[in-house]
Amino acid sequence: MSDYIAQQLSQDVLKACRDHSVTLSTAESCTGGLIIAALTDIAGSSDVVDRGFITYSNIAKHELLNVPLDMLRDYGAVSREVAISMAEGGLKNAHTGICIAVTGVAGPDGGSIEKPVGLVHMAVAQASHPTLHQEMRYPYESRHDIRMATVTSALQLCLKALLR
């Protein structure tokens, strides 16, 4: 992801949030805070961005976002179910109007046949709207590339949610 693309998408998300009078939070695992960093790189973002939950471990997902432990056990951290639960938990616990969540396998290790490196689940929860989910399967080039591609896709999904 180029700095220009991240900057433009971040500006678009911030504008859409302002247009809809909503604040934003993130619940990030594999990106480790890169989404919230892209948004807060924009001067004046503090009127929209409330907080980011960095929930890299399963226990953090449970304690900070209320992801059920049995869900983590049954589906694994990298799953549709957990991404949706992360987004909805972030929305509830941050009291924001929209929450972006991501969980995935950024590599180079940690992948399996069922959940290969490059698999990322993302979700956007928004008050009074159904939660959106998207699964991405990025080709492995580097950990950095997967994480940056995830930031781009997550911001695009957030825009889709805000503009529906």
Which CATH number characterizes residue 149's domain?
3.90.950.20
Which residues constitute the domain of residue 45? Answer: 3-162
Q: How many domains does the chain have?
A: 1
Mean pLDDT on 32-49: 98
- Which of 39, 125, 33, 111 lies closest to 82 in space, CA to CA? 125
Residues composing the chain: 164
Per-residue model confidence as pLDDT tens digits over 1-16: 467 888 999 999 999 9
Spatial contact of 104 and 28, defined as CB atoms under 8 Å apart: no
One DSSP character per residue, 91-127 reads HHHHT-SEEEEEEE--SSS---SSS-TTEEEEEEEET
A 10 A CB-CB count for 148 gives 20
Question: Mean pLDDT for the chain?
Answer: 96
CA–CA gap between residue 63 and residue 59 (Å, rounded): 6
What predicted TM-score, i.e. pTM, was given to this entire model? 0.97
